[in-house]
Chains A and B, each alone.
Chain A
Amino acid sequence: MDRRNVPLGPAYRLVWIVGIIGAIFLVVAPLFLLFKYSVSDIGSINTGGAPIPLWPHEPTFRNFLYLFSDGQFYSVLLNSLIIATMTVCFSMLIGIPASYVLARYEVPGRKFVLIGLISVRLFPDIASVIPVAELFIRFNAHNTYWGVIMAHSLLALPYVIFIGTSAFEPIPKDLEQQAIVMGANRFQVFSKVLVPLAIPGLIAAAIYTFLLSWDEFIFAYFLLGLGKISTLTLYLKQKLAFAPPQNLLAAISVCLSFPVILFSLLLQRYMTAGVTSGAVK
């Protein structure tokens, strides 16, 4: 029996239904239009004053075909994949043990650590990117993969630690102690008991990190510039600067957002956890 089921009066109910439909419309309509543009022929965009159709006159996949025939598109796709994957590896490697410790031990100054994490997260990217770029120029890390990977790991680490901590916390301590009683050492407890149980949360953290790096623009832009290594977001920005047809922009945008939307739908529960983690504490 759920208490949130109690029927509303007709007036409130109407407001509520209008609210829901309005909210869904405002979210879905722009996304639909983005998709529409990506399959539009140029005649459905440059209409010469006639209203732009809500569905292209002649839907076409030519924009995507053009993209897929562009050699540069493949190289930026590959770059984005490499950088995102390496970011996941690096930030999980140092983030997961840290979140295990935070979830399990009374770390002196735990509160301080968490506040530190939040402040790293809240530090404006656009402000921190200046010193990082200067530093990287000095150490020749500018325009390299590992420079961007390190920067992205920095951005992802607080999330990895937050999500990781909340994945380890609900695992009963009894399980751990049982394993120790049965003769496991600390590493075995970690790898054979805790990690398998926390795996959904850890996967979520990994995907979150992947997407964060995949989407990231500011650090990639400052650290790679428009040099020889380019990512998908930079590719999109570069195209934008040359004022290309809107349908091509839309097609790149669809390619860029497709994996993110897909994963977010699949892992919605964990994504929401990632978003609200730390916010309510």
Chain B
Amino acid sequence: MARHKSQGIVLHFKEIWPLLPAALYLLSFLFVVLIYLIGLSFSAPTSDAGAFPTLQTIAKVVSMPQFRSALVNTTVFVIIGTPLELLVGIVLSLILYRHFIGRNFVRGILVLPLAVPALVTAILLFILFDYPGGHINHLLMGKYPLFPAVLSNPINWRGSEFFALSVSMIGKLWRDMPISMLIILAGLLSIDPELFDAAKTMGGGWATQFRHVVLPLIVPSISAVLLLRSIEMWKEFIFPFVLAGQTDLLGTFIESLYNDWGYSNEAAVVALVLVGCIIVTTIVLLGITELLRRLVFEGGHRGG
């Protein structure tokens, strides 16, 4: 159904109008959300209602120590969590790449965490990492056979900032592991197996193949994982919400500002900061990706 230029824009509309409801719905949503976020952020909630624009709310949020610690926590969360997800994804996809009996079954098992609602995963970890008597504490204290005693006293996982965020991270990694695995597996499967054979006949062992063939060719998948997962890390809400009561990430900080304190303007400011962080990360990662691609792909003088 190739379209002809001479038939012009009228025919276009005739062809594409079914797209419009969905497009309008999504666009107006994006538009409203951004306008509202900016509007809320640049106005003050107090007596002189309608004072817009004002930097009063923003100044207030920036001066909040909880905001700073949430920002730092989230940044650390993203910087540590994203490479971990990538690593887990690469390892699991390499395991699944080989053909073996029951491969589909194993893949089905490994995709399961994705099917478990995030809230359920969070509650599961809440139970397992209970203090003083959860499975994990008992395991680390050597109460089960085969596993050595590492601890003498149970750890209060939710009590300390470090452990609370670590447990949240474990939950996040566990649940989202299939996504990075599947993306990288898709990248691996798109490589022509003859390329590996070619590398073998030209003198490449396992390491050479991985370095010179696999890694360069899954660069697009790797960038996809880095980009998508880092954004997901910034967005993270449910795990810290359930597991890290005392310690805030940006997401949980927004929630407590809005629901606990009723500060909608301040919540909007933090939300805007979160969106800003994501945009900056995206731009930086796209830059890095482009750099990587140029490093890996030679020549390409025809714009390839």
Q: Write the residues of chain A forming the contact surface with B, with a CB cutoff of 8 angstroms.
A: 2-5, 8, 12, 16, 19-20, 23-24, 26-28, 30-31, 33-34, 37, 46-47, 49-52, 54, 94-95, 97-98, 100-102, 104-108, 113, 116-117, 119-120, 122-128, 130-135, 153-154, 157-158, 161, 173, 176-177, 214-215, 217-218, 222, 225, 233, 236-237, 240, 246, 249-250, 253, 256-257, 260-261, 263-265, 268, 271-272, 275-276, 279-280
Residues of A within 8 A of B144 (CB): 51, 54
15 chain-A/chain-B pairs, Cβ below 8 angstroms? A3-B197, A20-B106, A27-B174, A52-B135, A104-B1, A124-B275, A126-B235, A126-B271, A128-B271, A130-B271, A132-B33, A133-B258, A256-B119, A261-B112, A263-B115
With an 8 A cutoff between CB atoms, is B42 at the interface? no
What's the Cα separation between A123 and B182 when bound, in Å? Answer: 22
Residues of B within 8 A of A249 (CB): 123, 126-127
Residue of B nearest to A239 (CB): B123
B 15-40 binary contact with A (CB < 8 Å = 1; else 0): 11011011101110110110111001
Are A126 and B237 in contact, CB atoms less than 8 angstroms apart? yes
Residues of A within 8 A of B127 (CB): 33-34, 37, 246, 249-250
A-B contacts counted at CB < 8 A amount to: 251
Are B254 and A130 in contact, CB atoms less than 8 angstroms apart? yes
Residue of B nearest to A261 (CB): B115
B 234-271 binary contact with A (CB < 8 Å = 1; else 0): 11011000100000001100110011000010011001
Are B267 and A130 in contact, CB atoms less than 8 angstroms apart? yes
Are A280 and B92 in contact, CB atoms less than 8 angstroms apart? no
Residues of A within 8 A of B206 (CB): 12
Residues of A within 8 A of B18 (CB): 97-98, 100-101
What's the Cα separation between A127 and B40 when bound, in Å? Answer: 12
| Partner among B12, B40, B108, B119 whose Cβ is within 8 Å of the Cβ of A237 | B119
Q: Which of B55-63, B78-86, B158-166, B220-228 contacts A (4 or more CB under 8 A)?
A: B220-228
What's the Cα separation between A24 and B2 when bound, in Å? Answer: 49
With an 8 A cutoff between CB atoms, is B231 at the interface? yes
| Partner among A27, A33, A51, A134 whose Cβ is within 8 Å of the Cβ of B36 | A134
Closest Cβ–Cβ distance, residue A203 to chain B (whole Å) = 17
Are A176 and B108 in contact, CB atoms less than 8 angstroms apart? no
Are A280 and B37 in contact, CB atoms less than 8 angstroms apart? no
With an 8 A cutoff between CB atoms, is B117 at the interface? yes
The interface centre, meaning the residue of A126, A154, A249 with most chain B CB atoms within 10 A of its CB, is: A126
With an 8 A cutoff between CB atoms, is B120 at the interface? yes
Which 8 A-B pairs rank lowest in CB-CB distance, beginning with the nearest?
A131-B36, A97-B18, A264-B115, A127-B271, A51-B143, A98-B22, A3-B193, A215-B117
| Partner among B128, B183, B250 whose Cβ is within 8 Å of the Cβ of A276 | B183
Are A268 and B25 in contact, CB atoms less than 8 angstroms apart? no
Closest Cβ–Cβ distance, residue A255 to chain B (whole Å) = 10
| Partner among A52, A236, A280 whose Cβ is within 8 Å of the Cβ of B138 | A52
What's the Cα separation between A57 and B303 when bound, in Å? Answer: 68
Residue of A nearest to B99 (CB): A4
- Contacts A33-B128, A94-B22; A268 near B111 (Cβ below 8 A): yes
With an 8 A cutoff between CB atoms, is B278 at the interface? yes
Residues of A within 8 A of B254 (CB): 126-127, 130
Within 8 A of A (CB), among B79-101: 91-92, 95, 97-99
- Contacts A127-B37, A253-B120, A275-B179; A97 near B21 (Cβ below 8 A): yes
Are A30 and B128 in contact, CB atoms less than 8 angstroms apart? yes
Are A215 and B119 in contact, CB atoms less than 8 angstroms apart? yes
Residues of A within 8 A of B187 (CB): 280
Residue of A nearest to B18 (CB): A97
Are B115 and A131 in contact, CB atoms less than 8 angstroms apart? no
What's the Cα separation between A127 and B16 when bound, in Å? Answer: 32
Are A33 and B124 in contact, CB atoms less than 8 angstroms apart? yes
With an 8 A cutoff between CB atoms, is B285 at the interface? no
- Contacts A4-B98, A101-B19; A108 near B12 (Cβ below 8 A): yes
Are B99 and A2 in contact, CB atoms less than 8 angstroms apart? yes
Residues of B within 8 A of A157 (CB): 22, 25-26
Closest Cβ–Cβ distance, residue A234 to chain B (whole Å) = 10
Are B111 and A128 in contact, CB atoms less than 8 angstroms apart? no
Residues of A within 8 A of B271 (CB): 124, 126-128, 130
Give me 12 other A-B pairs in contact (C-beta within 8 A), A34-B120, A265-B112, A271-B115 excluded: A3-B194, A19-B95, A28-B112, A51-B143, A105-B15, A124-B234, A124-B274, A127-B254, A264-B111, A268-B107, A271-B111, A275-B178
